[in-house]
Amino acid sequence: MVPLLVVLPLIGAGITLAATGRTGVQRVVSMTVLAAMLVLAGWLLWAADTQGPQVMLVGGWMPWEGIVLIVDRLAALMVIVSTTVTMGVLAYSVGQGASSFDDESDGHSPLPVFHPSILVLAAGVTTTFVSGDLFHLYVGFEMLLAASFVLLTLGGTVERVRAGTTYVLVSLLSSMIFLTAIALVYAAAGTVNLALLAQRLGEIQPGTAALLHVMLLIGFAVKAAVFPMSGWLPDSYPTAPAPVTAVFAGLLTKVGVYAMIRTQTLLFPQTRFDDLLLWAALLTMVVGILGAIVQDDIKRMLSYTLVSHIGYMLFGIALGSTIGLAAAIFYVAHHILVQTTLFLVTGLVERVGGSTDTARLGDLARISPIVGVLFFVPAMNLAGIPPFTGFLGKVGLIQAGVDDGRWLAWALVVASVVTSLLTLYAVARVWGRAFWSENPEGITGSGPLRGGHHGALGLGVLLPTGALVAVGVGLVVVAGPLYDVTTRAAVDLMLRTPYLDAVLGPGVSL
């Protein structure tokens, strides 16, 4: 079952590309494939939680000879969350009609690569989660990046091409760093298999191991938008259409975070550079949120909060403790869902008000109360207001920082609280200006506005967005069991033996 997580979306991408001109077929195939992936990932999470990591030796080759695919609790959870938000985004894009690159008037899609690109993106994201070696992890990165290049520039506007150029250059740079690191790892250890590297990296010179560690961290930090390598993100994401921006914000940076979790725990448990990562987490939190509170555009504000909250995840990773890692994994799952939802709601705001600039919006709570509710709930979740999952994740991270006891950990605890309060200020500022303040241009909820059209929102966009909001609220109900799963995942990651035994066989000594 493990390889189907990657094979299904690739087959679906091929079918949707062959079905150019048949928009209905593309939609059915895309949603069916993602639904099948979600069911399969749920089954694999149960299997990994009850029976241990699920391993596939591709082609029957041994780990030191071929590719290994492995699904443990962490990988399965990430696939479930990523597939859930991708389904929501795809449903939103279908409901959005022509503005989501589907031309309803003649049954033909002017941009037929949208559905194939979404499925290739899903396949690339899933590949990174289930890869058992560094080079295959790199292949997953390149799959999702190639698809993201296409999605980011759909429509071919000047702003999108300009943003796409920046994104391409930064992504290629990080890929070059990552690929160079892989070559050096192979030269030093004779393998790129993660399980074998866990055994062999401890035998090489400490200076060489430190160099390999730093290069991998830099490559992943660029992809995760960790400060000071985060400047590309706020200028790249806001130019894309709402569905594309939403899936980017939810998934792409978290793939880098996942890679950091995997390599930090499995490959470099001794030389972790904890203090360096703590400083990076602190600066990412503070600089990101300071950028967010001065933004008038909702998309740019959310992009800066996205950068800022990467610091929370890095905080849990850098602590190097089971409780910190469990909270970080929980927060990754929470943030993927909430950030995706908020960008979709921003798309609704743009449809109703004709803009995402709060200086040109107002009175939206009266014009479209449902959009107000859909924005308010995930915004409070992002800010960490009880009893939402954002609050629970931050409490877990703060508890881990207090238990650590180092002064730098305490500094992160303070920064976490301050960042949460400033996040609340940022979203409250948007809420006050866009939803409650007097409308500066007399929006009435119908008719043309600034060259666009707005008014009553269709169920096609409201239902997917509302469903993701409901899932975010529903996670509060299952937060206890979910936290138990992330804790067991963290325990296994810290022990390393469950992963190594599953790949190399039981009784492997480190």
**Are 382 and 423 members of one domain?**
yes
Q: Which residue has the tokens 């796409």?
A: 164
**Are 208 and 348 members of one domain?**
no
On whether residue 60 sits in a domain, the answer given is: yes
On whether residue 461 sits in a domain, the answer given is: yes
On whether residue 499 sits in a domain, the answer given is: no
**Are 127 and 207 members of one domain?**
yes
**Are 340 and 284 members of one domain?**
yes
Report residues of the chain scoring pLDDT below 50: 98-110, 442, 444-455
On whether residue 436 sits in a domain, the answer given is: yes
Spell out the residues 6+ positions from residue 395 whose beta carbon is closer than 8 angstroms to its own. Answer: none
Q: Where are the alpha helices (DSSP H) in 97-232?
A: 114-130, 134-152, 158-189, 194-200, 206-224
On whether residue 486 sits in a domain, the answer given is: no
**Are 291 and 235 members of one domain?**
no
- In a 10 Å sphere around its CB, with 0-12 CB exposed, 13-18 middle and 19+ buried, how is residue 31 labelled? middle
**Are 234 and 335 members of one domain?**
no
Which residues sit opposite 313 in a β-bridge? none
User: In this predicted structure, what is the pLDDT of residue 449?
Assistant: 34
For the chain, the first-to-last Cα distance in angstroms comes to: 29
* Concatenated DSSP letters of 430-463: HIIIIIISPPTT---SSEEETTEEESSPPHHHHH
Alpha carbons 392 and 369: distance in angstroms, whole number: 28
Domain carrying residue 16: 1-263
Alpha carbons 419 and 402: distance in angstroms, whole number: 17
CA 268 to chain centre: 23
User: In this predicted structure, what is the pLDDT of residue 289?
Assistant: 94
User: In this predicted structure, what is the pLDDT of residue 440?
Assistant: 60
Alpha carbons 119 and 287: distance in angstroms, whole number: 34
Q: What's the total number of domains in the chain?
A: 2
User: In this predicted structure, what is the pLDDT of residue 243?
Assistant: 83
Answer whether 153's CB lies under 8 Å from 201's CB. no
Which residues sit opposite 462 in a β-bridge? none
Spell out the residues 6+ positions from residue 331 whose beta carbon is closer than 8 angstroms to its own. Answer: 309, 312, 313, 316, 393, 394, 396, 397
> Among 156, 163, 99, 152, which residue's Cα sits nearest to residue 121?
152
> Among 170, 134, 48, which residue's Cα sits nearest to residue 486?
48
On whether residue 102 sits in a domain, the answer given is: yes
**Are 57 and 22 members of one domain?**
yes
On whether residue 497 sits in a domain, the answer given is: no
CA 320 to chain centre: 22
**Are 52 and 198 members of one domain?**
yes
Answer whether 327's CB lies under 8 Å from 393's CB. yes
**Are 13 and 108 members of one domain?**
yes
Q: State the angle between helix axes of 114-130 and 73-96 in degrees (0 to 180), rounded to the nearest 10.
A: 170
**Are 321 and 200 members of one domain?**
no
C-beta atoms surrounding 474 within 10 Å: 11
348's tokens: 């609704």
11's tokens: 């087959």
Q: State the angle between helix axes of 369-383 and 407-430 in degrees (0 to 180), rounded to the nearest 10.
A: 170
On whether residue 384 sits in a domain, the answer given is: yes
**Are 202 and 287 members of one domain?**
no
Answer whether 191's CB lies under 8 Å from 200's CB. yes
**Are 158 and 16 members of one domain?**
yes
Q: pTM of the predicted model, to two decimals?
A: 0.91
3-class secondary structure, 70 = strand
- In a 10 Å sphere around its CB, with 0-12 CB exposed, 13-18 middle and 19+ buried, how is residue 459 labelled? exposed
* Concatenated DSSP letters of 337-393: HHHHHHHHHHHHHHHHHS-SBGGG---HHHH-HHHHHHHHHHHHHHHT-TTSHHHHH
